[in-house]
């Protein structure tokens, strides 16, 4: 079976859309329970690992049986861990603010810290996945910049609900608004990364595996 762009977009969009609801649900639970900023930070990061696991599973399933099939367990594990790390970084500025640690925006070091954090966030998932993808695809390093570009575009959608929700927003509205944002983000990321994968798969010297019985569970 050759790599299918439509299959990739479908699986990845659904997996990331549903997965994005996991950390959002964590935010809602913490907001309803009145958790401290740091407990919320930790909870959302743990729930973020669940998002990464679903994203990795959707991606691995889309690649299963193709010339660039990845080992599912390794792919899901690294994606899950990287997603938790990304959420920890992404939530840190707001958590510090909520905890009363106000950043001095006139200090150049603060801007450097924000910049480094943003770069690490964008590199986290594709770099972790590259360590697995390089074993099945030549020139897999391109996966990193393509994902950085895709997530840079996609993450913009997740910022849209921010100005319209606060601590008084109902859980239902909070989850719905971020769910829509998550679907938009997932579709953008899936489309951009799928386009690159289709080109790389076409150039891959590896034929699609004839037997799929155990390959998807190899580690």
> Can you state the angle between helices 171-202 and 5-33, rounded to 10 degrees?
150
Q: What is the pLDDT of residue 212?
A: 43
Render each residue's pLDDT in the chain as its tens digit; 219 residues. 889 999 999 999 999 989 988 998 898 899 888 889 999 999 999 999 999 999 999 999 999 999 899 999 999 999 999 999 999 998 998 888 888 877 767 778 878 888 898 899 999 999 999 999 999 998 899 999 999 999 898 888 877 777 666 666 676 777 777 778 878 888 999 999 999 999 888 776 665 555 443 444 444
pLDDT on residue 219: 42
**CB within 8 Å of 142: residues ≥ 6 apart:** 196, 200
Q: What is the DSSP string of 157-196?
A: HHHTTGGG--TTS-HHHHHHHHHHHHHHHHHHHHHHHHHH
Contact 79, 132 (CB under 8 A): no
Output the CA–CA distances (angstroms, integers) from residue 4 to 8, 96, 197, in the order listed. Answer: 6, 43, 9
> Could you tell me how far CA 43 lies from the centroid of its own chain?
17
pLDDT at 205: 60
Residue 208 pLDDT: 54
Per-residue confidence (pLDDT) for residue 204, from 0 to 100 = 64
- Give me the residue spans of the domains in the chain: 5-201
């Amino acid at each position: 079976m050759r790599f299918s762009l439509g299959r990739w977009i479908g699986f990845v969009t659904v997996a990331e859309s549903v997965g994005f609801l996991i950390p959002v649900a964590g935010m809602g639970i913490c907001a309803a329970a009145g958790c401290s900023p740091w407990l919320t930070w930790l909870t959302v990061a743990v729930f973020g690992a669940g998002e990464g696991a679903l994203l990795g599973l959707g991606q691995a399933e889309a690649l299963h049986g193709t010339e660039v099939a990845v080992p599912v367990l390794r792919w899901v594990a690294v994606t899950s861990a990287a997603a938790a790390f990304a959420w920890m970084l992404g939530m840190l500025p707001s958590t510090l603010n909520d905890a009363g640690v106000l950043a001095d925006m006139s200090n150049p070091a603060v801007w450097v810290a924000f910049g480094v954090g943003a770069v690490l966030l964008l590199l986290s998932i594709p770099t972790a996945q590259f360590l697995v993808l390089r074993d099945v695809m030549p020139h897999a390093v391109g996966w990193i910049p393509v994902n950085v570009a895709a997530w840079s575009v996609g993450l913009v959608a997740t910022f849209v609900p921010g100005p319209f929700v606060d601590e008084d927003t109902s859980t239902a509205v909070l989850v719905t608004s971020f769910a829509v944002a998550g679907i938009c983000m997932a579709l953008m990321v899936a489309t951009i990364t799928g386009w690159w994968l289709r080109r790389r798969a076409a150039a891959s010297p590896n034929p699609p595996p004839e037997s799929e019985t155990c390959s998807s569970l190899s580690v």
